[in-house]
A = this chain, B = another copy of it.
Amino acid sequence: MPSETTLPFTFNIVPSLESILDKYDNHIARNLSAMKGQYQDRAAYEAKLTEDDPVLYEVYEVSRPPVAGELLMGISIVRPGKVGNEYYMTKGHFHTVLETSEMYYCLRGAGFMVMETPEGDWAVEALKPGTVLYVPPRWAHRSVNTGDQENLVTFFTYPGNAGHDYGTIERQGFRKIVMDHQGNPEIADNPRWMPADVRR
């Protein structure tokens, strides 16, 4: 018989308010304190952090061997909320193996995926329940919850060898940011962002 890692298996997306999995072996919870430098309104960030360190998002993942041909799968849950006028969002990352893609299927909530390439191209796509988003190879990606009260819940799949490169985004964020403008989400330029050739 093959080893357990090589056997087919199933799990279920539990139809609850949280939409979590009934099987996972990797759970990540990112608090506000893990997002240092990512929000434009530094004063609002610091003020909020002195009061509390809330969880902004969670990831539940089913692990697989980190090789091409395998697929990693999981659920991402971004909480509703803002730092200043900027919505709660994930750290965002490139894949370490840049030529790997990712599929997102939105299950609940409303928001955006903010994306960019190393060459400075950018894209922002809306997410709502039933939307499938394809993030092609080379595109860094960050999900943003623009809902007032509901979690943004997505199911994702990506190649087992992809890996995560957080450092590039941590240094200056994404080219575009998503702000609450009089109750509506607005896509704006990130004033801290610089083209790669200026950065070097």
Contacts and interface: CB of A to CB of B under 8 A. Distances in A.
A97 B158 CA distance: 17
B134 A62 contact: yes
Nearest to A122: B8
A8 B97 contact: no
Given A69-B97, A69-B137, A70-B137, A117 B62 contact: no
- Chain A interface size, under 10 / 10 to 19 / 20 to 34 / 35 or more: 35 or more
Interface stretch (A12-20, A45-53, A83-91, A169-177): A12-20
B70 A130 contact: no
Contacts of A117: 2
A16 to B, nearest CB: 11
Contacts of A33: none
Contacts of A9: 125, 133-134
Interface in A1-27: 1-2, 5-15, 21
Interface in A121-165: 121, 123, 125-127, 130-139, 155, 157-159
Interface of A: 1-2, 5-15, 21, 62, 64, 68-71, 73, 97, 99-103, 105, 113, 115, 117, 119, 121, 123, 125-127, 130-139, 155, 157-159
